[in-house]
Amino acid sequence: MMSTPPEIERRVEAPPKVERAPIPRPTAEGEEAREITYLKAISEALWEEMKRDDAVFIMGEDVGVYGGAFKVTEGFIEEFGPERVLDTPLSETGFFGAAIGAAMMGMRPVVEVQYADFISCGWDQIVNVAAKMHYRVREAVPVVIRGPSAGGLRAGPFHSQSPEGWFAHTPGLKVVVPATPTDAKGLLKSAIRDNNPVIFFEPKFLYRRVKEVVPGDDYTVPIGQARIAREGEDLSVITYGTMVHRALEAARILEARGISIEVIDLRTLLPLDRNTILESISRTSKAFVLTEDTTGYGISAELVATIATEAFEELDGPIVRLAPPDTPIPYSAPLEDYWLPQVQRIVVEIEKLAAY
């Protein structure tokens, strides 16, 4: 009998065990507000909902023993056990289908897609099963599919896409893209408690870059309700996700130049809060649409169409949109920076519109 080659023996050696430090969690109702990251806010929402409701469970690739690709679920399997924190095979179609079935049987699964780009592997289960089930048989499908989305990390075209437009075009789904830790936590709690399938995208550029003081008590943020991130008088910027922060930075620069910008954070793309958009434009008379979703047939196109159809007589200038070109997102750092809307370009384009 031939012996096993040494290189194969080395390949199958078990990795050394890593001792993890305890992960601090919210203690109880009434805890004081404290500053946390966007990533920690998502982790806390999951932890608290699993504590609150035994029907909530997590599944996905490497969410258990490894703690998730971005460590959102680190420590969960030790606390809740492998029956509620399920490591799945590399088959999005398979575990999306399993989650939908569990949801229809009364459970509330939260499925993590390792990168939002991989969600397309389970497309049929989402748009042809989950989204249509209530319409077909009047059954609730309380499943949340969450995934790290968008660019800024030099991860290339297979790990940096913004696929929210695909799902915002699908009746029967809800699509959420929070921009802040407070909203990330409150909206994820709302998504888990919702009886409809919710696609929950998390701009991974924000995970450890954005911090905010978040309420300590249990709270939710309503799905389908935008917020005014900054009040202004001269022009309305309609945006969401990472672009909210770039719009706010541009607004601070423009304020020093005498231009007052109102920034609307959509938070939810489906259902879309059209009232907040239209009310803002009625005050400022100018609209600037800013997205990380590509230009053609996307979120920006829907926003422009909404404004043109329902607020045309309120406008005192053309509707301007700034979004990436219709190409895959580049891997190269300089090319990715050129591809994504940057603060200085936002400032230049807004100045043109303000001067119109």
Active-site residues, by number, are 159
Rg (CA), the chain: 22
For 160, residues 6+ apart whose C-beta sits below 8 A from its C-beta are 117, 150, 151, 152, 153, 329, 336
Q: Going by C-beta distance under 8 Å and a sequence separation of 6 or more, which residues neighbour residue 242?
A: 150, 152, 179, 203, 205, 206, 292
Q: How far apart are CA 280 and CA 173, in angstroms?
A: 26
Q: Hey, is 8 helix, strand or coil?
A: helix
Helix then strand then coil, in percent of the chain rounded to 5, is: 40, 15, 45
Residue among 83, 84, 194, 73 nearest 130 (CA) = 194
Q: 125-160 as b/e, with b when 16 or more CB fall inside 10 Å?
A: bbbebbbbbeeeeeeebbbbbbbbbbbbeebbeebb
H or E segment to which residue 9 belongs: helix 6-11
